[in-house]
Amino acid sequence: MPLSRANGIDIRYEAAGAGQPLVLIHPLPFDHRVWLYQQASFSDRFRVIAMDLRGWGASSKPTTPFTLADMGADVMRVLANEGVAAGAIVMGCSIGSKIALMLACDHPEVFSAAILVGGNSGAQNQFDHRIAAYRDNARSGTLRDYHLGHLRYGVTPAWADTPIGRYLLDGFADRGVGLDPDNIARVFQALTVSDLTAKLPAFRTPTLIVNGEHDNALPGGLKTASLIPHARHEILAGAGHCCFIEKPAAFDALVVDFLAANHLLPLE
């Protein structure tokens, strides 16, 4: 995997395909491989760039304080490495959707569209139990089991118990052996205090917000959609928070339709 390095932070990422950049920012507690279907389906039309956020996957796991803006700067450094300065489409889920929205608001010259899965734009004050649980399970030697349970929370139980669901979630859990609970606390703390709602009245970039039918973030997605008058909101039936891994064909069809409607879909 290529490496972006700045200010002592290493960000690992993958890039595939050619053409207009499509930037993928993963949710917690996954890594960039959660986008495996989108990397495969869109790399024939786009330059697909997917990175591990700081704290996750193969990227650095700093334990000193940082902000969501710092995490966004990591993404921008990856794009600089890849020579991306304009015309990018940014797609994120959960914390990735908030980073995607932040970057699209702050860098309209770089991002021509934003696709938000989950789409919560306000402050989120419900992570103390996660921080405590990651620390407790790390001390007791049960971190992998807890991580796996957290991964399952991002999808529907029915999908998690399918053969493909078990295989993929076990893979994420196996790759999580290097997770650092103190770093995880910093990530959640950065997410907790981030509130983008003041930026939204002036936001003009084409935006698609997608929630799974059973997504616990659905109220946040609906609120964000109401604050961005031009935003398109879609609900994907039968799916959870990470609807794009549960229902990849249906999700990708929504993305293609949105991009085509905004004249952002390259010709095949």
pLDDT digit string (tens) for 90-129? Answer: 999 999 999 999 999 999 999 999 999 998 898 877 789 9
Residue 245 phi/psi, 5-degree rounding, is -90, -25
The answer, yes or no, to whether residue 204 has pLDDT greater than 90, is yes
Residue 227 phi/psi, 5-degree rounding, is -85, -15
In a domain, residue 136? The reply is no
Cis-peptide into 29, omega within 30 deg? yes
d(CA 50, CA 13): 6
**Total count of domains within the chain:** 1
Query: Mean pLDDT across the stretch 221-240?
Result: 95
The answer, yes or no, to whether residue 7 has pLDDT greater than 80, is no
pLDDT of residue 210: 98
> Percentage of the chain with pLDDT > 90?
90
The answer, yes or no, to whether residue 6 has pLDDT greater than 90, is no
Q: Running DSSP on this structure, what letter comes out for residue 162?
A: S
- Supply the range of the domain harboring residue 40: 3-122+195-261
Edge-to-edge, what's the strand order for the sheet holding 232-236? 3-6, 9-16, 46-51, 20-25, 88-93, 111-117, 207-212, 232-236
In a domain, residue 187? The reply is no
Q: Decide which of 268 and 129 is more confident.
A: 129
In a domain, residue 96? The reply is yes
Reported confidence tier of residue 203, pLDDT bands at 50, 70, 90? very high
pLDDT of residue 268: 62
The answer, yes or no, to whether residue 15 has pLDDT greater than 90, is yes
In a domain, residue 159? The reply is no
The string of pLDDT tens digits covering residues 54-81 is 999 999 999 999 999 999 999 999 999 9
The answer, yes or no, to whether residue 30 has pLDDT greater than 80, is yes
pLDDT of residue 11: 97
Residue 194 has which token pair?
């981030």
In a domain, residue 166? The reply is no
**Domain of 35: which CATH number?**
3.40.50.1820
In a domain, residue 32? The reply is yes
Q: Which of 23, 39, 178 is nearest to 96 (CA)?
A: 23
In a domain, residue 188? The reply is no
Q: Which of 126-130, 189-193, 203-207 has the highest mean pLDDT?
A: 203-207
In a domain, residue 210? The reply is yes
The answer, yes or no, to whether residue 237 has pLDDT greater than 90, is yes
pLDDT of residue 34: 98
